[in-house]
Each structure stands twice: as structure tokens, then as C-alpha cells.
Amino acid sequence: MQVDLKILDERLRARPPAYATPGSAGLDLRACIDAPLALAPGQWQLVPTGMAMHLRDPGYAALILPRSGLGHKHGIVLGNLVGLIDSDYQGQLMVSCWNRSNITYTLAPMERLAQLVIVPVVQAQFNPVDDFAHASERGAGGYGSTGTL
């Protein structure tokens, strides 16, 4: 798949966005900040990634997800939990970086802070009905209705 990508921060030219391994689903996003950014416990900050992409095809979207190492070891996750990038978005990709731990974390300029995954999307056509034509086995059951063991 070809996606138009605009580099907005010159520092990315030396390390352009790339999949870390041939099987990587996620493309790491870097913190394009000018100086180290200390995130106190519970603090969050919108961090620029220095790039923009235009997916263009409404059959795709991109998700911004935490990196497992940062999330698990340092509590650095996303203020919006998951970032959703619409296929028509052309602005700079931004990461809401949230320190959910109780220890200050200092983000270094150009550190890889999150990852982006491109996924297929279906835009449905909604058909208004009063009753569903086919009763499912689950019906309205949820919230643990199938048990735990």
C-alpha cells in the first residue's frame, strides 16, 4: 500500500519512519520536541511527531497505540488511550503522551514514544429497523453473561 507522507521536521530525514522488522505491524513515532520533556506523575502533553500522512482511501484508518516497553515499564501511555487517524486527516500526527505512573518520566527529543498501525475500515450503511430480523444466541447478553470459567 502506498501512502503519501510529508516530513515536517527535518530531523526525521536522517531516520525516516520505517517498520523496525519485516513483520512489524507498528511504525514507531518519534517525539519531535526541541528539549527533554519531563512528564510528572499523572501529567499528559500533546507531542508532535514531525510528520503528516494522507491515507485518502476511506477503507483505511490508522491507530496510534502505546509501545509496550514504555507502557509496561514506565507507565507512558496515551491520554486518549488510542489515537484514531481518519483517512482524510492531513495534519501533523500528534501523540497525547500520558504518564500514568507515579514516577516522572523524561521524554528525549526524537525518542520513539508510540506506534502507528494502519488498519482496514468498513463504513457501514445503516438500515433503520424496529426489530432485528434474526435473533442471535447472545441477544442482549453482555458484561460477563457467558461466565468466567
Ligand X SMILES: O=c1ccn([C@H]2C[C@H](O)[C@@H](COP(=O)(O)OP(=O)(O)OP(=O)(O)O)O2)c(=O)[nH]1
**Nearest approach, Cβ of residue 144 and ligand X (Å):** 29
| Contact pick of 26, 30, 83, 115 for ligand X (by CB under 6 A) | 83
Q: What is the DSSP letter of 59?
A: T
Residues 52-81 that bind ligand X (CB under 6 A): 64, 80
Tell whether 4 is in a known binding site. no
- Does 94 contact ligand X by CB under 6 A? yes
Site size with ligand X, rule: CB under 6 A = 10
Q: Fill in the amino acid letter for 84.
A: L
Nearest 10 degrees: CA dihedral of 64, 70, 74, 78? Answer: 0
Residues 9-38 that bind ligand X (CB under 6 A): none
**Nearest approach, Cβ of residue 70 and ligand X (Å):** 15
At 12 the three-state DSSP class reads helix
| Contact pick of 89, 109, 110, 121 for ligand X (by CB under 6 A) | 89
| Cβ proximity of 76 and 114 under 8 Å | no
Tell whether 80 is in a known binding site. yes
118 CA to centre of own chain: 9
- Cell numbers for 148, please give them: 468466567
